[in-house]
């Protein structure tokens, strides 16, 4: 029997989101998939409904954000954002705002891409913002919250990030040495993160779960 649930995805044009959107559309779990973003994705599908909106005015679009499962793939880099304030807006404010609004609309599950090393007390700004985002999301009344903490994401981006290309090359060279406890530092394909997000939603469990990079690659989870 096919389930008639609705999925909502934010950041569908990004590296993970572009891998996740086709999976959601192909899943029998969902009768409708809502893609939220500043610009439309170049895709047409009978299940797909696109909501092109200003993320700064997200509250005004609350009634367009009704779904059972919410997949948040929003994220940028300091270099791409241009400033700490702009980075904070995308990686904290937009994510937490989306989570709060969909929770108020009675969404059951929230799946969000964070980063390895995320911690609110981190001395590194990037990891600190990710940790603060996670802490804020954890307080919201979803039945299930899934936090994904990948290492360096591997895959082809629409926009080129020189730092990530260099990092991917270095990790490929070091990969044979990253064994045991160091395995978590291996790069993880964006496709693997997307697949893990859908699997987590299909689990239909409860509580808060953190998915680490090495566990994402083999389909395991860590409960926190």
pLDDT band at 218 (very low <50, low <70, confident <90, very high): low
Tens of pLDDT, residue by residue over 2-61, are 568 999 999 999 999 999 999 999 999 999 999 999 999 999 999 999 999 999 999 999
Structure tokens at 122: 């981190």
Active-site choice (5, 32, 92, 130):
130
Whole-number pLDDT of residue 221: 44
Which segments of the chain does DSSP mark as H helices, in order?
Answer: 15-26, 78-81, 84-88, 95-104, 125-138, 162-174, 190-203, 213-218
d(C-alpha 143, C-alpha 103), whole Å? 9
The answer to whether 72 and 95 have CB atoms below 8 angstroms apart is yes
130 is catalytic: yes
Active-site choice (47, 88, 97, 126):
126
Q: What is the DSSP letter of 57?
A: G
Neighbours of 217 (CB within 10 A): 20
88 is catalytic: no
pLDDT band at 173 (very low <50, low <70, confident <90, very high): very low
The answer to whether 2 and 63 have CB atoms below 8 angstroms apart is no
Average the pLDDT over 80-94 and give the result.
96
pTM of the model: 0.86
Q: Which CATH architecture has domain 5-216?
A: 3-Layer(aba) Sandwich (3.40)
Whole-number pLDDT of residue 214: 85
């Amino acid at each position: 029997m096919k389930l008639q649930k609705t999925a909502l995805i934010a950041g569908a044009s990004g590296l993970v989101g572009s891998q996740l959107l086709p999976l959601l559309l192909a899943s029998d779990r969902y009768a409708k998939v809502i893609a939220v973003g500043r610009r439309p994705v170049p895709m047409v599908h009978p299940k797909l409904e696109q909501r092109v909106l200003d993320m700064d005015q997200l509250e005004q679009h609350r009634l367009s954000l009704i779904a059972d499962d919410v997949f948040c793939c929003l994220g940028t880099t300091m270099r791409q954002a241009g400033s700490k304030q702009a980075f904070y807006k995308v990686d904290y404010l937009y994510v937490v705002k989306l989570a709060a609004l969909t929770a108020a609309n009675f969404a059951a599950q929230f799946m969000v891409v964070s980063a390895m090393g995320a911690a609110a007390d981190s001395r590194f700004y990037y990891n600190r913002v990710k940790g603060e985002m996670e802490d804020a999301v954890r307080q919201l009344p979803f039945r299930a919250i899934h936090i994904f903490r990948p290492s360096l994401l591997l895959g082809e981006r629409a926009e080129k990030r020189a730092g990530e290309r260099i990092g991917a090359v270095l990790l490929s060279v070091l990969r044979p040495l990253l064994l045991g406890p160091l395995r978590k530092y291996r790069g993880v394909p964006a496709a693997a993160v997307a697949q893990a997000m859908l699997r987590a939603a299909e689990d239909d469990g409860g509580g808060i779960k953190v998915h680490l990079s090495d566990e994402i690659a083999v389909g395991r989870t860590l409960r926190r």
